[in-house]
Each structure stands twice: as C-alpha cells, then as structure tokens.
Chains A and B, each alone.
Chain A
Amino acid sequence: MIIIITLGTNVGTKAREDGRAFDELRNLKIDAGVLERADGSAYLEFGGNKILVAIYGPKESYIRRLQRPDRAVIRCRYNMAPFSVDDRKRPGPDRRSIEISKITAEALHSSVILEKYPRSMIEVFIEVLEAEGGTRCAGITAASVAMADAGIPMRDMVVACAAGKVNGEIVLDLSEVEDKDGEADVPVAILPRTGQITLLQSDGNLSADEFEKALDLAIKGCQQISEVQKEALKNRYGV
C-alpha cells in the first residue's frame, strides 16, 4: 500500500533539490501490525527513511523505581542501525539518540491515557533501518500508530513533521541534504484533533516571522500525515 501525498504544485520558481514544491511532503507509507510477537507495531517509509516500531505493554514494570502508583510510564528507545547512514554509525546509544528517545517519550506522553494502567510500563522501540533526514518526526508518527495497534487507549494519535529554512525559503519536511545545508530545522509534533503541540524544537537561525511561518507549515504537514496514519490502521483490519 503506497499513499502519495502531493500538496499543491510547484509554484515557486526555485524548486528544491529533489524537485518537490516548498510545501510538499515526501512519499509516505505506513503499515500497522507488521510484527507478530510485539503487542503493537508499525513500519513506516517516509522518503528515504525506513523505520520499524515495536510496542510492548502495558506490562508489569520490571524497573521498580520507575513505577508510578497512579499511572503507567512510557519508556522509549530510539536506535539507529549501523547500516542506516552512509558512513557506518557506531552502534549503541549516543548523545543524539538519548535525546530523541526522551523527546519521543514526552511527545507520546500526553496522548496516552496513562491513568488507566497504574503501576505498569509501556515500552517503545524505534529502530531506524535507513535514515534520510527527519527520523525523529517519522519515529513519533510511526510510534503512535504502533501504540494504537497495541490497543493502548489514547486521546489522539500524535503526528510529527518538520519544517525549516533552506536557501532563504521556508520549506516543509526537510531531507537529509536540506537539513545539513539549510539554515534551520523545526520539528513539531501535534495532537491533530485539538492542535495541541507536544513537541517543538528549533535548530538554527530564524526570525520571529520565519519561525511562525515554519510552525504553520509544519502543522499543515502534520494534518496531512495524520490522514495516512488513520488509513494505515483501517487497512490493517481490511476495511
């Protein structure tokens, strides 16, 4: 199942490196329930990104000190495979993956109805098989599909998307090249029904106006991705 999203036409004269319009997303495909042994799982392809997410839980917290008497806790592990990037990535957690694990857990936190499972634990494993820019957003998007697949009650499905500034233009969904050469990158995660923001980072230099513009663009992208998420879950049950 491949769902191609095209947002508008190539309006600008200066096209992007990969031929996309400034407000155009890369090709997105999500499959839910791909792993047999996990409670919930999802596989996502977003441009050149290939990400696999597995959810285990809610289960008895095996780390006693993390247990909360009134709610469940979410633990998250973001990991990049050594072969996911051009130069071999040294295996194991590094500064960047620890940060992404933390922000992913926090982005998902407000969507899940944690009070329903006190003293338990939900584990999220995000494995990046191939990376091409925007993996943190793609990871969050896939994780919330996997969460829903696991039957964990949620208020809404979190969806994430980035916007940024490349060659003086505000663009949606930065690729790896654009991220490296560009001036700024703003990853955003929202709850699409209410529009609440659960993740907002900004890397690089942006004026206040540019930031507003980037944020609006990212939220627009999120709304589009949200539709694909819902589609993926419905497809899983053959409807």
Chain B
Amino acid sequence: MIFVNDKDLVVPGEILAEDDFHPGRGTFKEENKICSSVVGLIALRNKKISVIPLQSKYIPKRGDVVIGEITDIRFSMWGLDINSPYSGLLPASEVFGKEKRELDKVFKIGDVLFLRVVDVDEVRKVKLGLKGRGLGKFKGGILIYITPTKVPRLIGKKGSMINMIKDKTNCEIVVGQNGVVWVNGDIEMERVAEKVIKMIQKQAHTSGLTDRVREMLAQLTGEELEVSKDTEAVEGEENDNDNASSEDEKDVKQENDTNSSEKDNKNIPREIFESKLNLNHKR
C-alpha cells in the first residue's frame, strides 16, 4: 500500500508506504512501514521508494571530482576544505611522486584546486588526488556554493543548463560534485553567472526551470552583451529539447514570482560575503 505520489513533497517521519515496497535513499524501514527521513521529493521506481533531499551535505565518495580549498599544510600533506563534514587530505606523493620538495612552494593556503577523491576509508579520511585530465589549481575566478543534491540540475541533461550559462556569460565554469562551482571570466559576467546559479539552486525543484534561466540570462546579459539574431535562432531550436527534458525531470508546482523575488533579496549578504572571498583567491 502506498500513501504518496511521485514527486510529492514530504517531510521527515512521514509514512510513505507499507509492506511490498523497498526503501531507497532518504527513507528507512520501521516494522513494515517505509518512512521518509528528509525533506524532499518522492522518486518512485518500480517498487522502490526514494526521497530526493532538497538540502544536504556532501558525503565524499571514491571517484568523485570535487573543488577544494587548501586550509592546512602539514609535513607531507595538504589539508583541504571540500564543503563537507569531512576534510580532505592531499598527500605530497600525489603531487611530487617520490621526489621531496617543500609543500608550501607549490600550493599555499587559500589556493583552490580541482581534485578527484581517490579513497575514503572507514574513519572517513578522504584521500584526494590530482592525477587526471583537467585536474589542478585554479587561477582567479570566484567560488559559489550550492547544495550538492542540486548539482545534477545545474548541469542539466547532457550539460544543457551549464553550457547555456557558459555560452551566454562567456565564463569558464567548473562544477564539483561537492556543490562548489568555480566561475572565471569577466567580473560583470561572473556576477551574472553567480546570480543565475543561485536562482537555479533556489528553484531546482520546480518545473520549467530551463526557460526561466534563459529569460534571466537574457535579461541580465542583455544590457552588456548584444546577442546576434543568428545565435538566438540556434538556441531557439535547443529550447524544445530542453523543455522536454526538464519536464521529464521535475513536474512540481511552480513558485510564484513574488516568492522568488523575495528570496533573491535575502541573497544579498551572501553575495557580498563571497565577493570578499574572491579577493583572496585572486591574489
């Protein structure tokens, strides 16, 4: 017996189903009842019930690519903040091999790196590595923090969402699976990208998001950047595909406009704070 529908919003402790269902992520089983453990949206797959959380912390997993900031230099390793309850370790051997060099000449405290999670052991020690394509240190740019569960939404189907932001703002954007986003480009455009990413995070659980992101991008970049009609036509074709995919993904009631504008206002202190952070990174 099931008490909820697909894509319903549930709160912790709500009874979702009884008997012949399997508990997935975000749920737990008590006697014969399946209950939700987080605030999130129901995802039904056959007889398996999961709850996709709307808010979460990043739990490191082997093989993930993450963005981390160096917070500590020790005898043979760097300590990194990876936006998670567990801090990351980058052993010197990962960078130098067997050669011995001074660590603080390579990476300093405050440097931002793009890394891969090599291993997570039983005591939640997170070993990071720099071997792989595109991994390494970032120069310049800003960091934006979002909820890790919203990373797939930000990237979109086959990168549709993130590529749209990249095209419109002319910024380099890298998304770590730990919910840290690095944006590098023109200062004005970095701000635009930040606003858009924050908006995606706020409205990730609503439908028709791709269209709203496109509108917002057009609005924000409109004054500074004249988009030629040719490129717009091409993007118009893409729209249809995106529409289909976004409706596939989520089909939840939309927030009304007043609500979202209120939320944007609340964002201001955070933006100021982050712009301060960026000054440090640019050094």
Main secondary structure of the interface of B (DSSP, over half): loop
Cβ of A154 within 8 Å of any chain B Cβ, yes or no, is yes
Interface range, B side: 35 or more
Q: Residue on A with the closest CB to B253? A: A239
Cβ of B56 within 8 Å of any chain A Cβ, yes or no, is yes
Cβ of B279 within 8 Å of any chain A Cβ, yes or no, is no
Which of A60, A119, A229, A237 has the most C-beta atoms of chain B within 10 angstroms of its own C-beta? Answer: A237
Cβ of A148 within 8 Å of any chain B Cβ, yes or no, is yes
Q: Residue on A with the closest CB to B41? A: A237
Cβ of B138 within 8 Å of any chain A Cβ, yes or no, is no
Q: What is the bound-complex CA distance between A127 and B161, given in angstroms?
A: 40
- Chain A 67-78, CB-CB to B under 8 Å as 1, else 0, gives 001001000000
B172 to nearest A CB, angstroms? 27
Find chain A residues with CB under 8 A from B206 CB: 238
Q: What is the bound-complex CA distance between A128 and B124, given in angstroms?
A: 36
CB contact between B269 and one of A36, A39, A120, A193 (< 8 Å): that residue:
A36
Cβ of A180 within 8 Å of any chain B Cβ, yes or no, is no
A235 to nearest B CB, angstroms? 10
Q: Is the CB of B38 within 8 A of A120?
A: no
A interface size (C-beta, 8 A): 36
Find chain B residues with CB under 8 A from A118 CB: 124
Q: What is the bound-complex CA distance between A233 and B14, given in angstroms?
A: 12
Q: Is the CB of A151 within 8 A of B54?
A: yes
Q: Is the CB of A151 within 8 A of B55?
A: yes
Q: What is the bound-complex CA distance between A157 and B35, given in angstroms?
A: 12
Q: Is the CB of B13 within 8 A of A191?
A: yes
Q: What is the bound-complex CA distance between A113 and B37, given in angstroms?
A: 8
Cβ of A117 within 8 Å of any chain B Cβ, yes or no, is yes
Q: What is the bound-complex CA distance between A128 and B39, given in angstroms?
A: 25
Q: Is the CB of B85 within 8 A of A59?
A: yes
Cβ of A230 within 8 Å of any chain B Cβ, yes or no, is yes
Q: Is the CB of A60 within 8 A of B86?
A: yes
Q: Residue on A with the closest CB to B51? A: A153
Q: Is the CB of B252 within 8 A of A57?
A: no
Query: Which of B214-267 touch A at CB < 8 Å?
Result: 252-256, 259, 266-267
- Supply 7 A–B pairs (Cβ within 8 Å), ascending by A: A37-B270, A117-B57, A119-B85, A148-B12, A155-B28, A192-B13, A237-B39
Instruction: List residues of chain A with CB under 8 Å of any chain B CB.
Output: 36-37, 39-40, 57-60, 69, 72, 113, 117-120, 148-157, 191-194, 229-230, 233-234, 237-239
